[in-house]
Structure 1
Amino acid sequence: MTPDKRQTPARIAATAALVTALLGGCAAPQLAVSPRPVPRPAAAQPAPAPVQPSAESQALAAYYARVQADLLDQGLLRSDGGGTDTPFTDTMLTENFIRVALFDEYRRTGGGLVAQETQSRLRRWEAPVRVSLNFGASVSADRRATDRARISSYLTRLSQITGHPIMLDDRNPNFFVQVVNEDERRALGPVIRATLPELSSAEVAGLTDLPRSTYCIVYALSEGSASTYARAFAVIRAEHPDLLRLSCMHEEIAQGLGLANDSPLARPSIFNDDEEFALLTRQDEMMLRILYDPALHPGMTATEARPVVRQIAARMLGGAS
Structure 2
Amino acid sequence: MHKLLTVLCLSVVATFTTLTGPSAGEEVVDPRALKDAFFKTVFGLEYGGHADAFRVKRFEGPVRFFVDDRSGVGRALEARRFLNRLPRHIGHLRAEVVDRRSRANFNVVLVRDKDFAAVVASELRADSIAMNARCLVGVTTLNGRIQQSTAVIVADDDFLFSRCLVEEVLQGLGPMNDDDSLTESVFNDQSQHATFTKFDQALMNVLYHPMIRPGMTDSEAFRTLPQVFADLGLSH
Q: Same fold (TM over 0.5)?
A: yes
Unpaired stretches in structure 2, ≥5 consecutive residues: 1-5
The count of residues paired between Structure 1 and Structure 2 equals 227
Q: Distance in 2 between matches of 1:317 and 1:267?
A: 22
Aligned twin of 1:91 = 32
Q: For residues 110-139 of structure 1, what are the alpha-carbon distances to aligned partners after superposition, in whole Å with 9 as ceiling and x for unaligned? A: xxxxxxxx9510011123211111122xx3
What is the CA RMSD across the aligned residues, in angstroms? Answer: 2.6
Contact 1:218 1:252 (C-alpha < 8 Å) held by counterparts: yes
* Residue pairs, 1:275-294, within 5 angstroms: 275-294=191-210
Contact 1:176 1:233 (C-alpha < 8 Å) held by counterparts: yes
Structure 1: 4+ residue segments shifted above 6 A: none
Q: Distance in 1 between matches of 2:155 and 2:197?
A: 24
**Which of the pair has more CA radius of gyration?**
1
> Match for 1:99: what amino acid?
K
* Residue pairs, 1:28-67, within 5 angstroms: none
Identity among equivalent pairs (%): 26
- 1:120 counterpart SS class: coil
Pick the aligned partner of 2:41 from 89, 100, 106: 100
* Residue pairs, 1:112-261, within 5 angstroms: 120-136=54-70, 139-140=71-72, 143-144=73-74, 147-160=75-88, 161-171=90-100, 172-188=103-119, 191-192=122-123, 203-206=125-128, 210-211=130-131, 213-223=132-142, 226-240=143-157, 242-261=158-177
Contact 1:156 1:166 (C-alpha < 8 Å) held by counterparts: yes
Contact 1:94 1:310 (C-alpha < 8 Å) held by counterparts: no
Q: Distance in 2 between matches of 1:217 and 1:167?
A: 21
> Match for 1:204: what amino acid?
A
Q: Shift of the alpha carbon at 1:298?
A: 0.7
Contact 2:136 2:152 (C-alpha < 8 Å) held by counterparts: yes
Task: Call closer, same or farther: CA 1:274–1:302 in 2, change over 3 Å.
Answer: same
Q: Shift of the alpha carbon at 1:238?
A: 3.5
Unpaired stretches in structure 1, ≥5 consecutive residues: 8-63, 110-117, 197-202
- Calculate the TM-score normalised by the size of structure 2: 0.84
Q: Distance in 2 between matches of 1:182 and 1:265?
A: 28
> Match for 2:130: what amino acid?
L
- Calculate the TM-score normalised by the size of structure 1: 0.63
Q: Distance in 2 between matches of 1:309 and 1:258?
A: 17
